[in-house]
Each structure stands twice: as C-alpha cells, then as structure tokens.
Structure 1
C-alpha cells in the first residue's frame, strides 16, 4: 500500500529552533537512522509538522564523517533566513543531498525539502534539524517568494493566538473557543497542544510577529521610489569590490574604504546592515563579511 507523504510546511528558522514538543505515533521505525527521529514536531504556533520546505542562504557546510564517531558519510549545513538558521544533516540515507553538499558553492541560495529530526541528549535539551529529501539551487526571487508565503502563513497562525489572548478565555477550554470561531479542528488541536506544552505568553507571540515583519522588510524593493536607496547600495557594493578579493572583507577595512569616498560612517553602517538583511552579504564570523553571489 502506498503511504501518503506528509505536507511540507513553511516556517521561519526562529520558530523551528524554538520547537521542542515531539509527538510520536503508535508505530516506530526499527532503522538505526530513525532512533532519534520524532514522528511529528509541534511548533510554538501549533503546527504539527513532519516535513518542512526551506529557502534561504547556505552559509556553512562541514563534513562530519571526517570526525571520529560519526557515520561513514555525514554532512552538516546551515541554511539562513532573515530570522535565524536551519541545521541540515545529510548522510548515507540521503545520497543525493550528500553529493550536493559535497560540492555546493557557499554562499548560495538553496531550497531544501526535509524531514524533521530531533535529538534529546537526556539533559532536558532538544536539538532540532532537517534531513533533506531534496535540495537544489534557487535564485533570489524564489527566496523572496518563500519569505512572503511563509510570513502570510505565520501571521495567520499568530492572528489566532492574538484572538485567543484577547478573548480572556485563557482559564477556560481553549478548544471550545477555537471551534466556536470556526477554526478547523485539526488546526485547533495543534494550537491547544502548543498552549498546553509551551506555556508561552502574549509577549512571545508578539516577538514572533515582529520578526515576521522584519523578514518582510528584508526583501529588496523594486519600485521607483527606491532608486535612491539602490544607488546607495550600488556605491557601497563598488567600495566592497575594491576591498574584497573574493575571500571576504573586514569591517575595519570597509569603514576605512567608505570614509575615503566621503561616505559617512553611519550611512556605511546602515547600508551594510541593509545588505545583511536582504541576503546580499553574510557574516560568517564577527566583523568579517562575504558577498553572496
């Protein structure tokens, strides 16, 4: 009998990394590679996820199989979005993904369709990651579309939490309240599981909403009233090209170079942070930057 694949949900890295609640089904896999794998992950906004679709910038790739104690073929990568970074592991059970990671150009825009994995070392902590089923290069427009779609879906869920906290029904039966608001039962059940497990207050969900808005603001505007901003970015990129030989550049050298062109330090700093948020550059370590081609 063919098993129907679970829906691949879109979510931002900050919510994914905050997720700790594993929901196991009655059946379990006997494969060694599934020992630490939950059947579902319940997120703070009530999603019940088994598979996730991620689009972002791949900023790090490490071959862990070179380290003692790891499986024969194991790669770890970090995929960044405007809110944080997803950790991705590909091993012998993901040969296509392993081959891709072995030769991927860092940094690059990539799309990952992966299954949720969770590891609990026994000290109360939980580490979540993705095992890729598919991974491929994409362009900036695909990344921007993913941000918009993910933001819309996240805000829809946050609106449900906002309505619940505003209703004053926190001491009652949340399930009854959500159903009375015509929220589908499957969605309401996920939200109630989240409320019961995470015990997050309204402030937490407000912070998630703020992060979503920042993610939307990170998308490059193309309208005519943005010409001046784009001109500034072009001037800054021209400076970067003079100090970056392809291996990256230091913040000190950047400020020195922009100052020699009479660009105020505050303007240079703002432009640098703007390019970081848009994904034009990234910061692999403090004070050191690389251009994303």
Structure 2
C-alpha cells in the first residue's frame, strides 16, 4: 500500500479524535477511519504554522492550527528535504501541508503519526479556500453517516465508523453545527474558493492519473468525495486546460503536461 496515492481533507479536531487504525503494514504505512467516516492514508491540511522545533538532520516537529484545533506534524531522518523546507519557514504564517499517516509496530493499536511529506507557505485566501472545501467534505460525510444510521446500514467505511465510535445523532448535529458556524464566520475575498478548487482538481489528476491520464468522469467522482460539485470540477478542468497545466491525449481523458 502506498499511503501517498491520495489524500483526505479533515479538520484537526476530527483527526485528533481518530482511533480506528486499519491495514497496518510493516513499513509503518496504514490507514485510519475518522469519526465522520473519512478513510485516510494521507491528509492535506492548511492553517497557521505556529511552531517549528527540532533539527533538519534528526527530527523536526511542527504545529499547524485550523479553526478547530492544531495538527502535530513531524519529519524523520528520511524526510530531510521536507525538513529543510520546514526549517526555512518562519512562523507565524499560513501553510498547506501533506502528511502521510504512519502506524509503526509497537505503538499501540490506535496510535498513528502524521509524517510531513510536503509543506509550503500560502496566502490567507488559499487557507480560507481549504477551510471551505474541507467543511463541505465533512458535511458530505456527516450526511452519509446520518443516512446509514437511519437505514441501519453498517457496511463499508461509514458502517465501521458508526460501530467503532458508537456514533450518536447528537454528535452529528453538534459537528454539523460547528462546521456551519465556521463557514458563517469566515471573511472570504473574491476568488479564493475558485483558486482552491483548481488546486484540488490539479492534485487529483496528478495523484490518480498515472501515465495514461484520467477520465473526466473519474475526476468528477474523486472531486465529489472531496465535497466538490460536478460543475465545479468541470470548470476547474477547463481552467487547467486553458492554462496549459494539462492536456487531452484523447478526448475525455486528462493528463498533466
């Protein structure tokens, strides 16, 4: 299993409350299921970089805050390039980051770490766009949980989350209310949402396309899982084609340049 095949957007508080580990491998890679049913092998986050500690040639740790809490990210000796980038960023500043979920043997059945694979300084607009998209993806999962609880369906990832976390309707209501309050309290400048969507779609194409590319239908399905609408995905693809970020080797198939 390659944990970097795809990433999931979750808020810090949800990831901190995650205790269901699956597919633990000897190389440390694994997947976790969060309380709202997100299946994560890697996470894409954004927020304010608050602290950086450690040494590039040993281990480093960083704290990145979003509206719900803070992520704790780390690098090891194998991530020296990423550690070098991290050491060059002076907090406080907005960043985006991709971190792989790792569950080393001997750390406990529910223990995992977020190992930093990429981090970069970004604008407030991009951070705000991440919050919007992550909020929509979270609400999408909450709706799926509510439907499964109402129907009694306990299959798949959603079913595993319900059984493990003993999900109650009150949790869904409180979490949805919190997410909507976050959205209501944000002050967004024009264009930040569109910029973030294009970045999401570009990453989906990169991570899922391979040498042969990926069909528009597959991009739309992947984008729906990130809380995007089909129209938003199509518009983002059109923008990427117009900007020569990708092309169509055959009609209906998208590939990065």
Compute the TM-score of the two structures, normalised by the length of structure 2: 0.66
- Alpha-carbon distance between aligned partners in 1 of 2:64 and 2:43, rounded to the nearest angstrom: 13
Match of 2:165 among 193, 198, 203: 198
- Alpha-carbon distance between aligned partners in 2 of 1:129 and 1:159, rounded to the nearest angstrom: 28
Q: Does 1:114 align with 2:81?
A: no
Residue 79 of structure 2: aligned partner = 94
Match of 2:123 among 135, 139, 160: 139
Q: Does 1:61 align with 2:52?
A: yes
Q: Does 1:48 align with 2:39?
A: yes
Residue 174 of structure 1: aligned partner = 154
- Alpha-carbon distance between aligned partners in 2 of 1:110 and 1:197, rounded to the nearest angstrom: 32
**Residue ranges of structure 1 left out of the alignment (5+ in a row):** 66-70, 176-188, 224-293
Residue 151 of structure 1: aligned partner = 135
* Superposed CA offset, 1:184-215 (max 9, x none): xxxxx110111121112111122221221132
Structure whose alpha-carbon radius of gyration is higher: 1
- Alpha-carbon distance between aligned partners in 1 of 2:173 and 2:22, rounded to the nearest angstrom: 26
Q: Does 1:211 align with 2:195?
A: no
- Alpha-carbon distance between aligned partners in 2 of 1:59 and 1:152, rounded to the nearest angstrom: 25
- Alpha-carbon distance between aligned partners in 2 of 1:212 and 1:4, rounded to the nearest angstrom: 27
Compute the TM-score of the two structures, normalised by the length of structure 1: 0.58
- Alpha-carbon distance between aligned partners in 2 of 1:98 and 1:3, rounded to the nearest angstrom: 21
Residue 220 of structure 1: aligned partner = 187
3-state SS of 1:147 partner:
helix
- The question of whether the paired residues in 1 share the 8 Å contact of 2:94 and 2:124 is answered with yes
- The question of whether the paired residues in 2 share the 8 Å contact of 1:17 and 1:128 is answered with no
- Superposition misfits of 4+ residues, deviation over 6 angstroms: none
- Alpha-carbon distance between aligned partners in 2 of 1:92 and 1:4, rounded to the nearest angstrom: 18
